[in-house]
Structure formats: C-alpha cells, structure tokens
Amino acid sequence: MTSPSRVAVEKMVFRKTNAHVGRFISVTPENSTNRHLAYGRILLNPSTPSVSFSNGDRETGFIVLSGEAVVKVNGQGIDLGQYDSIYIPRDSSIEVTSHQSVDIAEFSADVINRYPLQVVRIAEISRDPTQVFTAGIGTGASRHLHMCIAKNVEAGRLVAGFTWSDPGNWTSWPPHEHAAMLEEMYVYFDMPAPAFGIQLVYSNTEYPELVTVVRDGDAVLMPSGYHPNVSVPGHRICFLWAMAAHREGVDRQFGVVNVQAGFNQGGSGLEAGRKK
C-alpha cells in the first residue's frame, strides 16, 4: 500500500465538503488515494428541494446528519430522519426530496454483485449494544460509536458509521491500521466553531507523515497507516467513518486491525468491530 509520506496532501485532505447545495461528490478514486470509495453530500433546502441520479455499478450508503428526507429507490419511497441510514444496491434510480432541509452524507463503492435495499433506523440500532456503545471510559479516549452500515447490513464493500468523542479526548485509540483489507476516510461533522481536532495518518511512528487540523466539513483519507485523532479541550471531535473492502465480500470484516506496537488494548474498548 502507498505510504502517506509519498502521497500529495491534496489527495488525502479535502476541506469544507459541506459547502455546496444540492448533490456534490468531493472524493472519488480519480481525485484521491482511494481505490474504491467515493464520498459526497446531499444538502437540500426550499430553494433546492430534490435531486435525482443513478448509481450505476456503485453500491451506495446514506447517513442523514440533520433534517428529514424521502428517498425513492426505483420508485419505492422511504422516510428517513436524523441518523437514519440506508443501503442502496447498485444499478438503482435514486431521488431524494426534503420538504424543509436535510444534510445527507453519501458513500459509495464499485461492486460486481447486487445486494438488497436495506434501511437502518437509529432507534433500532440504539437498542443493540453491539451497534451503539461507548468505549475507552476513563482512559482519555472516551468516545461514543454508532455502527450504521456494518455487520447488520449485507453489502459488498461498504462499511460506515460515526463516532463522537468526549471533549478533549482521543478516538481511534489505540492507534491501529487495516490497510491490507480496508481503505478508510473520516468526515468531520457537528463541530461548530471554534471546535477543531487534530488528525494523524502515519506509518512512521517517530515522526508522523500527516498531522493536520480538522474542522466541520473537512475529510481526511487513510490509504495506509495508523490514524488516531484528538479533540481540543472543551469540544468534542465528531466524524463519519467509511471504509471500502479491497476484495468484495472477502475483506469486508470488522475489528481485524493491527495495533501500533507499545500500545496495549487494556481499557481502550478496541475489540472486534469496536475500533473507532
């Protein structure tokens, strides 16, 4: 895999990806280090109440960050609210409509096979302690994880969810990597000014290759290496995490990570499927 030290920052760091009304795709395999994963936002309001598109050979996942929308997939309408998610199979016709406003994160990945349409309600996964849980309590790495499109969803490559830390805490701790199986990216949200965080991506454990400030709407890609982050005191870091398996189906596994030498797992909450 490509080392972060050999990759131009402009292919790993994308700023203010939530600045466009309508549907805007910020990250693709063509403009980034990603081999499979693409990411964009759908921002609708009374002046732009709907968008329509087809996803071709790409399976697609939506996570609603705020507001409400009706998503039609091949004519079937589905109401979605905040933090609800939907998995949409490839070769689908998609229409998104909001009567007020909505902010949706869109992730997609190329697949050969077609998997079923699946809706994930935040109210349902919140009752499952393997899907929504807190990790790292009392370690300086306390965070709250939501597994939206994960083991609960049949898919080819996509895995997605979101994490928010307690103020001033680390996440993705202890440092770990999984580049042989999964590429990953983070998208920071719900971090109103002056909140910001620090994101690291590195293979060189002495002098990390990428250390950058991240704010609301920014995105950082992890082509390889360890990727912890930390919020500033008094504020939390909140981010969507999305992964794409390199081998469809085979590499779509959970919690298979390599932890950086010298950091043990005790008290971190880093267990199978619980790594962010």
CATH number at residue 145: 2.60.120.10
User: Would you state the pLDDT for residue 8?
Assistant: 73
Residue 5 — very low, low, confident or very high, per pLDDT cuts 50/70/90?
low
Closest listed residue to residue 242, CA positions, set 44, 59, 15: 59
Q: CB-based contacts of 24: which residues, under 8 Å, 6+ apart?
A: 17, 40, 41, 43
Closest listed residue to residue 226, CA positions, set 174, 160, 164, 163: 174
The pLDDT of residue 20 is above 50: yes
Residue 59 included in any domain: yes
Q: How far apart are CA 269 and CA 143, in angstroms?
A: 9
Assigned token pair, 150: 């994960």
C-beta separation of 66 from 189 below 8 A:
no
Q: How far apart are CA 187 and CA 205, in angstroms?
A: 23
Instruction: Mean pLDDT check: name the lowest of 81-95, 197-211, 212-226, 259-273.
Output: 259-273
Q: How far apart are CA 161 and CA 271, in angstroms?
A: 16
Residue 38 included in any domain: yes
- Burial (CB < 10 A; 0-12, 13-18, 19+), residue 66, is middle
Residue 183 included in any domain: yes
Q: In Å, how far are 123, 202, 221, 260 from 263, measured between CA atoms?
A: 35, 15, 23, 6
The structural domain count of the chain equals 1
Residue-averaged pLDDT of the chain: 93
Residue 232 included in any domain: yes
Assigned token pair, 245: 């398996």
User: Would you state the pLDDT for residue 6?
Assistant: 56
Kindly report the number of other CB atoms within 10 A of residue 259's CB atom. 17
- Predicted TM-score (pTM) of the model is 0.93
Kindly report the number of other CB atoms within 10 A of residue 144's CB atom. 18
Residue 264 included in any domain: no
Closest listed residue to residue 81, CA positions, set 60, 93, 98, 57: 98
Residue 160 included in any domain: yes
State pLDDT tens for residues 92-148: 999 999 999 999 999 999 999 999 999 999 999 999 999 999 999 989 999 999 999
Q: How far apart are CA 258 and CA 76, in angstroms?
A: 42
Residue-by-residue DSSP string for the chain: ---GGGS-GGGTEE--TT--SEEEEEE-TTTSS-SSEEEEEEEEBTTB-EEEEE-TTEEEEEEEEEE-EEEEETTEEEEE-TT-EEEE-SS-EEEEE-SS-EEEEEEEEE-SS----EEE-HHHHTT-TTTEEEE-TTTT--EEEEEEESTTS--SSEEEEEEEEPTT-EES-S-EE-TTTEEEEEEE-S--TT--EEEEEBS-SSS-SEEEEE-TT-EEEESSSB--EEEPTTS--EEEEEEEESSTTTT--SS--EEPTT---TTT--BTTB--
Residue 8 included in any domain: yes
State pLDDT tens for residues 240-269: 999 999 999 999 998 889 999 998 754 444
Residue 96 included in any domain: yes
User: Would you state the pLDDT for residue 2?
Assistant: 54
Domain of residue 131 covers 4-259
User: Would you state the pLDDT for residue 274?
Assistant: 46
Mean pLDDT of 144-168: 97
